[in-house]
């Protein structure tokens, strides 16, 4: 084989390997996780550890179309014994141990799975900040100030119905785990 053919083959191989490497890079990415853990945190008040929120009884006509929202009820999460270094606290609504719809970010009606004969259908529970903006499951709600003197805070959130279509009559039950976050 001539030196010219060898040189052409070598160049072709080099170009081909660069193309393969470029294709690999175009189909790859990196996820970097950064976080921070702290030693001292606020303590959840006993009255806020396991909260039961009763949503109002509504007509299915109120929730007749996908995207309808109605019947919100407020709930508070109270904390105490916050260290002086903590000036704000929020609730992070966990994906883990929560049944939710990733497309809407809402909690699903657990009774549709657990007891379909008594369950309302196409009804979810949506979480809101106190300004009525949605809190998607897996997100942190609005942060509230910690009282520098009393070392306490009151976080105010809401939950309400959300229709994924024409709802049917029945019961609704949804549950979410929350963790204190310090933005």
Question: 127: which strand partners?
Answer: 135, 159
Provide the CATH number for the domain around residue 88: 2.60.40.1090
Give domain status of residue 140, yes or no. Answer: yes
pTM: 0.80
Token pair 């204190």 is found at 180
Q: How long a stretch of residues is the chain?
A: 183
Rounded Cα distance, 146 and 75, in Å: 18
Per the structure, how many domains does the chain have?
A: 1
pLDDT band at residue 7 under the 50/70/90 scheme: low
Give the domain extent around 170.
43-181
Residue 20 within a domain: no
Higher pLDDT, 165 or 11: 165
The answer to the question of residue 120 being in a domain is yes
Establish if 96 belongs to a structural domain.
yes
Q: Percent of the chain having pLDDT more than 70?
A: 87
pLDDT of 2 higher than 70: no
CA 51 to chain centre: 18
| pLDDT of 21 above 60 | no
Indicate whether 97 belongs to any domain: yes
Give domain status of residue 7, yes or no.
no
pLDDT at 13 over 70: no
Q: Is the CB of residue 96 less than 8 Å from the CB of residue 178?
A: no
24 located within any domain: no
- Confidence category of residue 34, pLDDT binned at 50, 70, 90: confident
What is the pLDDT, as a whole number, of residue 69? 98
Question: And the tokens for 154?
Answer: 């009151």
Give me the mean pLDDT over the 150-174 stretch: 97
Asked whether the predicted pLDDT for residue 26 surpasses 90, the reply is no
Q: How far is CA 1 from CA 7, 13, 14, 113, in A?
A: 10, 16, 19, 72
Convert the pLDDT of each residue in 87-127 to its tens digit. Answer: 999 999 999 888 999 999 999 999 988 888 899 999 999 99
Q: What is the mean pLDDT of residues 129-147?
A: 98
Residue 65's CB is within 10 A of a number of other CB atoms, namely: 11
Let me know if residue 19 belongs to a domain. no
38 versus 64: the higher-pLDDT residue is: 64
Q: Please, what is the average pLDDT of the chain?
A: 90
Average pLDDT over residues 67-94: 97
């Amino acid at each position: 084989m001539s030196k010219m053919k060898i040189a052409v083959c070598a160049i072709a191989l080099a170009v081909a390997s660069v193309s393969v490497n470029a294709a690999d890079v175009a189909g790859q990415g990196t996820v970097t996780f950064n976080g921070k853990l702290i030693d001292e945190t606020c303590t959840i008040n006993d009255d806020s550890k396991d909260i039961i929120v009763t949503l109002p009884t509504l007509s299915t006509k109120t929730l007749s179309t996908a995207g309808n929202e109605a019947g919100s009820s407020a709930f508070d999460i109270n904390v105490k014994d916050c260290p002086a270094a903590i000036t704000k606290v929020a609730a992070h609504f966990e994906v883990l141990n929560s049944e939710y719809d990733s497309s809407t970010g809402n909690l699903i009606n657990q009774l549709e799975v657990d007891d379909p004969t008594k369950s309302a259908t196409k009804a979810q529970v949506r979480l809101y900040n106190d300004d009525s903006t949605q809190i998607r499951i897996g997100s942190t709600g609005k942060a509230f100030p910690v009282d520098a003197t009393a070392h306490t805070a009151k976080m105010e959130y809401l939950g309400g119905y959300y229709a994924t279509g024409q709802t049917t009559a029945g019961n609704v039950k949804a549950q979410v785990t929350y963790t204190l976050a310090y933005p």
